Amino acid sequence: MAGKRISLKPRAKKKPPAVRRYKTGVEAAPVDDGFRWFKEYFRLDLDRKEVSRILRDYIKDNYKGEERTLLLSAPDYWYSGRGEVAASITWRQKGMDFPDNWDPERHVKHYIDQVRHAALTKIEKANDPDNKDVVVPTISPMERVKAKTSAFIGRIDEYLDTWEEREKFSLFNEMTKEGLSSFSAVEVLAYYKRIFVELRELVDKKTPELVEAYSHWSVPQRKKYFAFVSAMVSDADKYVLSKKAQRKPSKPRVKSADKQVKKLNFAKDSAEFKLTSIDPTKIVGAQRLYTFHVKERIVTEFVTNSGKGFEISGSTLKNFTTEKSRSIRLRKPEDTLVIFLRKTAAQIDKEWSQLTTKTTTPTGRINKDMILLRVIE
């Protein structure tokens, strides 16, 4: 009986299974589900040091000399805490398409403006006279104002990106807290007016190009977004008007005007209606005055035929003509007050005739609940 054939060839050893290498850092960011989730990964999961590296490298690659030195001198949190900006830069480097509601150029530009403003603020606060390494660039006051304006718009744009979560957002309050100058306020108003005009065309005219750009939103969403931006524009407009009201008269007033208004009792501002009274010295010598009683919601138009214009005694307006002066209660002051703040006397008269409440004759007394809206000289 033949024996079993024995092979002298050694058995090949089994190869251990390959170790699967898991991606980490930027490489682990999801790209198949679109920019939204890519951005969320950068914002929530990516290591802050990696975010900082991306933003600092971007500055090093795109700026030179003193400008680069300045931009890299801001506090560290300006580089580590802006994941959405780092995501925009990285997504663009990958050559990927952005969604229609995300403007990467705008977000990166506003971020750079914010970093510049933060760096300048840091330099201003530096109080070590022996630190000769600090580079203090020459910058005009207007450039500082522009940097502050851009930084503010950048911050507000972040709110705008999450507008559905901000039902109680008030741009007027944000501008007030920031203490924006008249120049900055006008810039902010112009910026959001451009967005408002585009959305109005989308909602009202349904321009095909815009409808395609906002196709990812339903029609109700577009209308709600339009209403949100409309409220922002209204707030910015009211802030601009309040800054104008606070201006001192360009023409020097005689001392008698200051003395006349010394005891005048009036409301300096109204948080409810977002109004600020004008400088009361503007009333003296003017030909037409508009006031608003914030509690009774009564707007009053005072008119004078006197060559000297109005005069004030205590808290009483003098020289107004009762035949031409009038008062009326506003049903919707939020919508109507802008007419008295912006329109001409003839336009106001036309709008007045459309109001349905009863017109009465004013007494001339001005009290602590009355806003001094406007004068026409």
Report residue 291 as tokens: 């006031």
The secondary structure of residue 21, as a DSSP letter, is: P
CA distance 166 to 350: 37
The secondary structure of residue 163, as a DSSP letter, is: G
Largest CA distance in the chain: 143
Residue 38 · residue 30 · CB < 8 Å: yes
Element (H, E) at 110: helix 104-125
Element (H, E) at 300: strand 298-303
E strands of 304-369, at which residues? 311-313, 316-318, 326-329, 359-360
CA distance 48 to 42: 9
Residue 288 · residue 345 · CB < 8 Å: yes
Helices (H), 292-375: 333-342, 345-352
Which tens digit of pLDDT belongs to each residue from 269-311? 999 999 999 999 999 999 999 999 999 999 999 999 988 899 9
CA distance 105 to 113: 12
The separation between the first and the last C-alpha atoms of the chain, rounded to the nearest angstrom, is 132
DSSP string, 190-246: HHHHHHHHHHHIIIII--HHHHHHTTTS-HHHHHHHHHHHHHHHHHHHHHHHHHHHH
Q: Sheet of 370-376: strands edge to edge? A: 359-360, 326-329, 298-303, 288-293, 370-376
Report helix, strand or coil for 220: helix
Report residue 244 as tokens: 């104008």
Residue 286 · residue 377 · CB < 8 Å: yes
Report residue 269 as tokens: 């501002």
Q: How many helices (H) and strands (E) does the chain have?
A: 14, 9
What dihedral angle (degrees, nearest 10) is formed by the CA atoms of 361, 367, 373, 377? 70
Residue 101 · residue 164 · CB < 8 Å: no
pLDDT score recorded for residue 62: 92
CA distance 91 to 95: 7
- Tens-of-pLDDT digits for all 377 residues of the chain? 455 555 555 555 555 554 444 456 788 888 887 887 888 788 777 888 888 889 989 999 999 888 888 888 888 878 877 888 888 899 889 888 888 777 888 878 888 888 888 888 877 776 555 555 555 455 677 777 877 887 788 778 777 777 887 778 899 999 999 899 999 899 999 988 988 988 898 888 888 888 887 788 888 988 998 999 999 999 999 999 998 888 777 665 555 788 999 999 999 999 999 999 999 999 999 999 999 999 999 999 999 998 889 999 999 999 999 999 999 999 999 888 999 999 999 999 999 999 999 999 999 999 999 999 999 88
CA distance 36 to 84: 10
DSSP string, 132-148: TT-------HHHHHHHH
Residue 202 · residue 223 · CB < 8 Å: no
E strands of 69-139, at which residues? none
